[in-house]
Structure 1
Amino acid sequence: MEKAMRLDRYLVEMKKGSRSEVKKMIKSGRVSVDGETCREAERKIQPSASEVSLDGTQVGYAAYEYFMLNKPAGVVSATEDGRHKTVVSLIEDAKRRDLFPVGRLDIDTEGLLLITNDGKLAHRLLSPKKHVDKTYFARVEGRLPENAIEQFKEGLTLEDGTRTLPARLVIQKASGTAEDDGKADSSLSEIELTIHEGKFHQVKRMFEAVGCRVVYLKRLSMGSLRLDESLAPGAYRRLTEEEISKLQGEGDSGDERGLLSGKRAYLFDLDGTLVDSMWMWGAIDIEYLGKFGIPCPKDLQKAIEGMSFTETAVYFKERFSLPDSLEQIKADWTAMSIENTGQKCR
């Protein structure tokens, strides 16, 4: 049975104003429920069954929204940013205010980005144990090694010592060759790369590990979802029911236990974090803040001691002015903790 929801929360989630603004609207008689004026902000309604109107216009409800965006360069993969336009701000006809990007593309990277408020789906797509394929097109400066395909297939060691999972490299055009029209830049290679994880700047770092440099990067697909070629940079569309259904099944075809395979048990707190996992969080804090170019303060562990998972996310967002939503922060932490746990338990 659908869970009842307060009227003011319904309107806030549907982007009709802040909580205080919505309460004023309701109190002034601008809101009706099932054809009758309602002045009670706390009234409980059924989101999908109740007919809510504001100033005579019906306010439809959407529990979840899913958008495919062709991210342009110059836009940041975040919900808020003080300097740059965000990918969420490009979605002009969204009903909900809690959308976030599933994963990140660098500011200069283009291509497929899923925008949603479905945290469960985001975790499924980003979790290292699911090994969801992500395919990129890139133009690469420098001569690729003759055995580049084999090196990527075996997995690479990045400059900082991090080992990547095996990846599939397809060389569409090697540097030193030109297209028939004679206009192509023969100093660049053109490749397609499929990876199964999402480490920080991973594609760029993988090519740096073989002595090359990525000068253009575009994501083509993520799992079953492939970029709609009809979408110009900056354009978007809603996902079809078929696309959503396929994404929700990502990662189910293999060993569903993933990193838990062969382990007798893992214990989790009620908030979803690993019990006795403090050994990893210091390193995760350093890596996570490093993605934003923020050094990890020495007092951080002391400051967050005793906080719940959600309270810690709120603290991080406020203290470090993080652009990501709380859902995105927690999804990133969960994926990183699973990856760290898997590496220690292997």
Structure 2
Amino acid sequence: MASKIRLDRFLSESGYGTRKEVKQMIKKGIVEVNSVSAKDPSFKVDPEKDSVTVEGEDVFHTDEFYIMLNKPEGYITSTKDRELTVMELICDIPRFENLFPVGRLDKDTTGLLLITNDGELAHRLTHPKWKVPKVYIATVKGKLSEKEIEKLEKGINLGDFVTKPAKVKVITEEETTSEVEIEIKEGKYHQVKRMFEKVGHPVIKLRRTSFGPLKLGNLPEGEYRFLTDKEIEKLKRATGLLP
């Protein structure tokens, strides 16, 4: 028999936003439990028995977690480390210790990080076979020439491997720096930094803005949200888990 949980937690775990966001939804009166309006975020529901709707749409609770984190600088992408890890930022999630990051972002890299307990999806998202694209915004030293952009786009020899073709777009140029969007389909160690270093433009800042069909959007740095059902479906389609 499932134990009852708070309504705000139920909605947050079901992908309807952060605990703060779902509390606002509940107080607006758009959430019903068993066809009765529920305006108290602490109201207890039984995930197996109670019917919960948001604006008339059924909500389905699951034991599988899919979380998007906007990783800030200074955190290690690991479940355990002597230094601060990204898990510190999601420690209010029930059973968070069973979750793990998909792939990695360097300590000084920010942006979209997917955290889940779905091992099969995580494996496919990081496996070269599925060629899941990742988009980064890099602030680099200097200005890229057309020839340097062409090298990055065709694939560049980093010594231990040759990168696959990338998509590169210069967003802005200043006197001594440039902001560049780059899309890659691998996830090798320090890959983006090494690519720009190879063409003579060391990375100053790096932020991931998308991972496959997932977009970071306006999620504040250091905060997380649960993925929606549609986002999960898109991820599974992108990796062949759904037709």
Per the TM superposition, whether the score is higher than 0.5 is yes
* Bigger Rg, which one: 1
Deviations 1:280-334 (A, max 9, x none): xxxxxxxxxxxxxxxxxxxxxxxxxxxxxxxxxxxxxxxxxxxxxxxxxxxxxxx
The count of corresponding residues between Structure 1 and Structure 2 is: 189
CA contact 1:70–1:236 (8 Å) conserved in 2: yes
Is 1:165 aligned to residue 154 of structure 2? no
The one-letter code sitting in structure 2 at the alignment partner of 1:120 is: E
Q: What corresponds to 1:88 in structure 2?
A: 87
Q: Secondary structure at the match of 1:217?
A: strand
Give distance in 1, aligned partners of 2:180 and 2:141.
11
Give distance in 1, aligned partners of 2:226 and 2:48.
23
Give distance in 2, aligned partners of 1:63 and 1:161.
40
Which structure 2 residues correspond to residues 142-291 of structure 1 after superposition, within 5 A? 142-158=142-158, 160-174=159-173, 177=174, 186-229=175-218, 231-252=219-240
Q: Secondary structure at the match of 1:249?
A: helix
Give distance in 1, aligned partners of 2:102 and 2:87.
11
Give distance in 2, aligned partners of 1:116 and 1:94.
12
TM-score by length of 2: 0.72
Deviations 1:267-289 (A, max 9, x none): xxxxxxxxxxxxxxxxxxxxxxx
Deviations 1:131-168 (A, max 9, x none): 0000000100134233122212210011x242010000
Give distance in 2, aligned partners of 1:126 and 1:105.
13
Q: Secondary structure at the match of 1:115?
A: strand
CA contact 1:65–1:94 (8 Å) conserved in 2: no
The one-letter code sitting in structure 2 at the alignment partner of 1:127 is: H
Q: Secondary structure at the match of 2:80?
A: coil
1:127 shift after superposition? 0.5
The one-letter code sitting in structure 2 at the alignment partner of 1:189 is: S
Give distance in 2, aligned partners of 1:95 and 1:240.
18
| Structure with the higher strand share, 1 or 2 | 2
CA contact 2:102–2:115 (8 Å) conserved in 1: yes
CA contact 2:155–2:164 (8 Å) conserved in 1: yes
CA contact 1:62–1:95 (8 Å) conserved in 2: no
CA contact 1:124–1:250 (8 Å) conserved in 2: no
Give distance in 1, aligned partners of 2:80 and 2:62.
22
Q: Secondary structure at the match of 2:76?
A: coil
Structure 1 residue ranges without an equivalent (≥5):
1-47, 52-60, 178-185, 257-346
Identity %: 49
Which structure 2 residues correspond to residues 6-155 of structure 1 after superposition, within 5 A? 62-82=62-82, 84-96=83-95, 97-155=97-155
Q: Secondary structure at the match of 1:135?
A: strand
Give distance in 2, aligned partners of 1:125 and 1:161.
22
TM-score by length of 1: 0.51
Structure 2 residue ranges without an equivalent (≥5):
1-46, 51-60
The one-letter code sitting in structure 2 at the alignment partner of 1:131 is: K
1:233 shift after superposition? 1.2
The one-letter code sitting in structure 2 at the alignment partner of 1:219 is: R
Give distance in 1, aligned partners of 2:240 and 2:100.
24
| Structure with the higher helix share, 1 or 2 | 1
CA contact 2:152–2:166 (8 Å) conserved in 1: yes
Q: What corresponds to 1:28 in structure 2?
A: none
Give distance in 2, aligned partners of 1:69 and 1:197.
20
